[in-house]
Amino acid sequence: MSAAHSAGALEPPPAQAVAADVARALEEDVGSGDLTASLVPAERRVTATIVCREEAVLCGQPWVTEVLRQVAPGAQARWHLQDGERTAPGAKVVEIDGPARALLTAERCCLNFLQTLSAVATRTARYVDAVRGTRAAILDTRKTIPGLRQAQKYAVRCGGGSNHRMGLFDAVLIKENHIAAAGGLTAAFRAAQALAATRPVAFIQVEVETLTQLQEALDAGVTMVLLDNMPLETLREAVRMAGGRCSLEISGGVTLERLHELAATGVDRISVGALIKDIQAVDFSMRFSERPVERGSR
Domains annotated on the chain, with CATH: 7-128+280-290 (3.90.1170.20), 133-277 (3.20.20.70)
Q: What one-character DSSP code corresponds to residue 10? A: G
What's the predicted TM-score (pTM) here?
A: 0.93
- Residue 22 phi, psi dihedral angles, 5° rounding: -65, -40
User: For residue range 270-280, what is the model confidence (pLDDT) as tens digits?
Assistant: 999 999 999 99
Q: What one-character DSSP code corresponds to residue 249? A: E
Q: Band of the pLDDT at 9, cuts 50, 70, 90? A: low
User: For residue range 158-178, what is the model confidence (pLDDT) as tens digits?
Assistant: 999 999 999 999 999 999 999
DSSP helix/strand/coil, 63 = helix
Distances (CA, A) of 245 to 91, 185, 197, 284: 47, 18, 22, 46
Burial tier of 280 (Cβ tally within 10 Å: 0-12, 13-18, 19+): exposed
Distances (CA, A) of 106 to 27, 60, 94, 100, 292: 12, 14, 14, 10, 22
Residues noted as catalytic? 108, 143, 175, 207, 228
pLDDT beyond 70 at 296: no
